[in-house]
Amino acid sequence: MATAFLPKTQNDPKQDIAVIDCDVHPNFRDGLNDLSPYLTPEYRRRTGVGAGDAWSKNVAASHFSLPTNVMYIHPAGALRRDTWSDGTTPASNPELVAKQLLDGYNIDRGVLLCGNVLGLGGLTDPDLAANISNAYNEWLYETWLQSDVRWRGGIVVAPQDVAQAVKTIRKFGPRDGFCQVHIAMNNVLLGDRRFRPIYEAAEELGLPVAIHPNSIDGIFHTGPQTAGGIPTYYAEWHAGISQIFQANVISLVCQGTFELFPKLKFIVTEGGIGWLPDVMWRLDKNWKALRDELPWLHRAPSEYIIEHIRFTTQPMIEPEKQSHLEAILEMIHAEKTLLFSTDYPHWDFDDPNKALRGVPEHVMDRLLAKNALEIYGDHIL
């Protein structure tokens, strides 16, 4: 395997981007209080960051994400210990994160996915969700995207009110630094027709749509649902999250999303890849026998997946046998479908110098940056 992180020697500015981390989580320094400057007085009170310092200190919600996972808590802490090094909330200091992650691993671009409002899709009030998403995007733009030219951000949209989500995309999409739309999932599969205006807006602006575990998966009735009931332990819950991505990939393909929006790209972030060969095989097998039910699909389902959907490396599969890794990467066409990610600053962060060992040369050459450059286009430059 080639060494992943070498000094850049190319003269072409686009080729100078040799490593792109597609999953970095920025955090609030002071909980939801960080959104206070971007919310109206009404919504400050609604989110518990309202009338003055005394109020915010007395309302616990102001110091946490909204909503939060109160059922499954990592017993040793979900964030890397070394991200606390400056005494502030982990990953809340853009300069420190840039030094630790970007400089530390010679990464040229880091794509930021919200670390505090991942569960936004679970809120029952669509107006509250829309206001928080807009406030978050303003905060991300001013606090992170202006701090270092290497940061890129995802426009967080709440799916509860599609019309408001479209307005959010059109408001932030033209701003420098935003490179994708991050839809906070809820209990409706993403192939559903109600979401088509979101995809239309994203396609029009040349922005891929990203999805990510929500931290409320299988917990909130309004959040993404897992199969078989509620698990007991964090380990069960964390291992079972890939079910949600399987269901949504199947939904997007079977509902004809990529026939309607032939230029649209989706990014499955932190959803794993080991399940993908089985899903592609099952879809292709069923499509051959059930074409009358899905007349809008003019190609095998696996072809839509390979062309339109990308998957991040973290959590990277690490089988004991090299041949098993190579077989899975071959089956999912990894040289085209994989994007590099670390999941900084989470406990299961993938050290790129270790997690990617055994990846074949021709796949490494593509997944570190070239695939992301194709998906994000000029938005990543």
Structure tokens belonging to residue 380 = 């990543």
Which range, of 9-13, 27-31, 373-377, averages the lowest pLDDT? Answer: 9-13
Q: Residue 127: its pLDDT value, please?
A: 97
| Rounded-to-integer distance, Cα 29 and Cα 88, Å | 7
Residue 83 predicted with pLDDT over 80: no
Q: Residue 88: its pLDDT value, please?
A: 76
What average pLDDT score do residues 52-69 get?
52
CB 347 within 8 A of CB 292: no
Which range, of 50-59, 130-139, 164-173, 289-298, averages the lowest pLDDT? Answer: 50-59
Give the pLDDT band (50/70/90) at residue 7: very low
Which range, of 59-73, 134-148, 250-264, averages the lowest pLDDT? Answer: 59-73
Tell me the whole-structure pTM to 2 decimals.
0.92
Q: Residue 50: its pLDDT value, please?
A: 61
What average pLDDT score do residues 261-283 get?
97
Return the percent helix, strand and coil in the chain, to nearest 5: 45, 10, 45
The DSSP call for residue 178 is E
| Backbone phi, psi, residue 178, to 5° | -90, 130
The C-alpha torsion from 19 through 74 and 26 to 207, rounded to 10°, is 60
Indicate the CATH number for domain 20-380: 3.20.20.140
What average pLDDT score do residues 259-269 get?
98
| pLDDT, the chain, mean | 89
What average pLDDT score do residues 23-51 get?
87
Query: pLDDT for 98-107, tens place per residue?
Result: 999 999 999 9
